[in-house]
Structure 1
Amino acid sequence: MSTSISRHVLASSALAAALWFLFAGIRWLFSQAQGPAAQLAALVPEVVPSGLMWGDSGSWLLVTVVTGGIAVAVAHALFTATLSRSSTTWGAAWFATIAAGALIGLALDIAAVWGPISSVGPRGLLADGFGAATASGALWGLAVGWIPGLVARKSTPAVEESKSPTRRPAWLLPIAAVAVIAVVTTGVITDNVRSAAIEAEVAAQQEAEAAVTFGAIPDPDASGVSVPDKAAAATDVDPEWCTTEKAMLLKGEPDAATGHRGLPIRLMNFSDEPCVIEGYPDVAFGDQNQHLLAVTVEQGGSFMAQDPGPQRIEVPAGGYAVSVLGWDAASPHGALVTKTVYAAQTAGMTRGSWPIDLDIVEGSIVAVTAWAIEPNPLSAG
């Protein structure tokens, strides 16, 4: 078997690689365009998977494309030399263009889904988009393969073509195998660099958002339990009690001292008759993920308010009772924080809620004072 290959076949293979580069470049340029021009990318065969071209992969994308073009040339020469034994050089070169485009497309498809393949094995080949470059490469070869075929046809006169078929050099097959492996390898590196760049960009964006966001960024996948609509407690309600039919809870304005915080909660009797309340309000806190925040609630006073102790009080018609929540200031940066306060007149009654940002974080201790008559709520908080 001859150890050389016709210069016309080599020229045909080089032309096939040039056409492959051309289509990859045109597809990339259209994909970078803005507006309606970007839709023109759909008219160009996707010889390089869009997943590898999207994102910042630096110079590795260029290395992968160059390696892919070289592999197209080598594979084209291999297929042409092999197929021309039993067919015309023109037909062999055309079909070789189709086969080379599909083979290099397959190598790039494998590189694009190497992550899923390494995680779940062959099932990773079922990932979305796998096979697109293979099919596009074959379509590309079908559309342009006649051009390299015309060049390769000049290798021998038409009359003598069947007598002097192009021979396949022994060294061509291992070189083609190495070229295909190189395409997969550089493609995998490109995808890894691209993925790392995307992850770094997302992390930087999250860090920037966290710097201006109260508490950690909400996580829709966070585990937790919803805030119950009432505490698990039995309450005997007598006719004089300040129930929701007679009274409502109102959130006061937060107050602060050095290192300490306070929030008054008021009970307003909107009925025409007095009602009674006794003990402590029931409070709970929801975080930014709409889950129950792990907070210890203690009945008693704090730096912000003294606790009068539980006693039965009568709230006049149109009057107010007040309880004060007190806690120590905490850094909300990156933490689960209070985004909603829930409260009821007493444990066992249905809680109402108010959206509010408070630096009551996971693990905080919140003191709650007992209900007491507030003579003039407008002068407080």
Structure 2
Amino acid sequence: MKLIIAVPAICALVIRAYTKNSLTTPGLVVAALTAIAHAYHPWNLPFVLLVVFFLAGTRVTHIKEDVKAKLTVASKGSSGGEGPRTHVQGRRADFLLANSLVASVLTVLHANQLYARQARVADPNKAGPEGTLCYAWGGDILIVGIIANYAAVAADTFSSELGILAKSEPRLITSPTLRKVPRGTNGAVTLWGLGAGLFGSMIIVSAATVFLPFCSDKTAGHVGGGSPWTQAERRMFMGTLVIWGALGSVLDSILGGLFQRSVRDVRSGKIVEGEGGVRVLVSDSSSKVPSRAQVKQVVGDKTSDQLQGSAVETPGLKTDAKHNPIDKHRRSSFGDEQPSRVVESGWDLLDNNDVNFLMAVTMSVGAMAGAGWYFDIPVEDVLKV
């Protein structure tokens, strides 16, 4: 990307994110570094895909935000303390890394390949494998991985943010019976959400098709030229990547349903979301929470003010300064020893950002492997410059 275009574009992207409060401070730093990595590429394509994903993802997040805020409850990372749903996860640095790190690495690798080829074109005496500066049919598969990454994460974002608004109840994709689950459950899908994921993937692939410097009949035979694309090949390329990107949202649902625990608030019946995509704590069912009658018996005539900041030490009654027995709001249970949060589905192995990153890696690598097989490109030739 030309410097005269890259510098203003990066500044505009960061300034917009700052003024719109779209990113946290660490998120702004990561966004700037990610934008620089994408602008390092001699083509405009990687930077365009980053911008399209950021703008489209931000926009879809705010669609009916007030309605989505009422569909789940948020946790502050401690037992109890639920509150309105927020979208702070999409503003965090780890969220940006989960969605763009793979594409950033592939962008830098492919940029180095193109710069090396440009040097050989300028000096034909330099030894090295033949390569093209435009995107040839059957050419570099690193580009396939970059497009697949953003198509998949865009599909996942659209599916998550719009699927929760579906009129029909979601069903758990990892359940043999596809049982109905509360909105916001990891692994829950709806037809509306799957359609939204397809649309998100289509937006990314359409942008890629417009900005990819496809080799054509005009570039064939020129220095740095390559095999031209036919219209049928372009349509196949676009259609395949759109479907592949949409499958990314399905894979994310499967991974989330299996390895990401969903916690339901018993009182409201809604899913509890961890702030920033982190895990939600659940009360230990093996520990007995004292009832109000037990607390009164232990406390006696002492007032609430006398007990602030101190624990009531009584045999058989486990308490500490962080869990005052008279403060029911600090307990993740009702007064009848029943937990206020229960596990709806999934194992507690990954958080949301872990799932996003694993999905992005799988879809990018899978797309490159499929392209390499189709074009008969050996694995050892992928990184050749």
Does the TM-score normalized on the shorter chain lie above 0.5? Answer: no
* Greater Rg by CA: 1
TM-score range, shorter-chain basis? Answer: under 0.3
Structure with the larger helix share: 2
More contact order relative to length (CA 8 Å, sep ≥ 6)? 2
Q: TM-score, normalised by structure 2?
A: 0.27
